[in-house]
């Protein structure tokens, strides 16, 4: 029902919901290797039932105002998404994350989707500090964070166990006043 246009090619941001189970499975099957280099996102989704179960967990987190998941559709196909997690309106903190199929990269879709998501968190929900966490080796992700105006707070050493290795997790953040400045600067460009 709801959609936010992301560019001129018809790419849209829409809430991701349990009834998208079959699309979600197909999308994860296409992007599994690429998405799974650094993050466990979607690794438990192997068939329609597990796709539905995962999306239902997201729906329940949404109802509890602890997270929200938004899919990016391009030409009617689900190709990635952005999300808030550890959303704590009372403390003014939340984390944001993203994932994308390889075929949809290079078009700035994540960056554009993130601008809408973080605007909502900061302006509508009163979030003061937005956090971005990625493995040190996940350069594409960290580049988007930097492009959006996040700065690095530090490195949680060996905090991430994935595929047999322990990876460092970089913690980046942007504060509400910084976000507004970055947004104003971006609009003038």
- Which residues are near a second copy by CB under 8 A? 1-4, 15, 17-19, 56, 59-60, 62-63, 65, 89-93, 116-117, 119-120, 124-125, 128-129, 131, 152-161, 166, 171, 173, 175
Q: Whose Cβ is closer to a second copy: residue 4's or residue 26's? A: 4
CA 134/CA 145 separation, integer angstroms: 10
CA 56/CA 50 separation, integer angstroms: 10
- Cβ at position 106, least distance to a second copy in Å: 25
Q: Whose Cβ is closer to a second copy: residue 7's or residue 119's? A: 119
- Cβ at position 180, least distance to a second copy in Å: 15
Q: Whose Cβ is closer to a second copy: residue 31's or residue 150's? A: 150
CA 102/CA 65 separation, integer angstroms: 30
CA 73/CA 79 separation, integer angstroms: 6
Angle at 51 between CA 50 and CA 54, to 5 degrees: 80
CA 173/CA 153 separation, integer angstroms: 7
- Cβ at position 41, least distance to a second copy in Å: 15
């Amino acid at each position: 029902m709801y959609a936010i246009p992301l560019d001129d090619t018809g790419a849209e941001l829409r809430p991701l919901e349990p009834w998208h189970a079959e699309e979600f499975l197909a999308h994860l099957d296409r992007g599994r290797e690429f998405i799974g280099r650094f993050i466990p996102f979607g690794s438990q989704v192997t068939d329609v039932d597990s796709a539905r179960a995962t999306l239902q967990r997201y729906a329940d987190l949404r109802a509890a105002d602890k997270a929200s998941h938004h899919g990016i559709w391009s030409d009617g196909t689900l190709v990635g998404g952005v999300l808030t997690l550890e959303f704590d309106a009372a403390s003014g903190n939340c984390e944001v994350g993203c994932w994308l199929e390889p075929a949809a990269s290079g078009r700035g879709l994540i960056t554009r989707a993130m601008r809408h998501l973080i605007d909502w968190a900061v302006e509508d929900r009163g979030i003061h500090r937005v956090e971005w966490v990625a493995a040190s080796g996940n350069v594409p992700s960290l580049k988007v964070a930097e492009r959006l105006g996040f700065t690095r707070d530090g490195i949680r050493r060996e905090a991430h166990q994935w595929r047999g290795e322990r990876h460092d997790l970089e913690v980046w953040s942007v504060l509400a006043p910084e976000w507004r400045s970055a947004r104003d600067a971006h609009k003038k460009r």
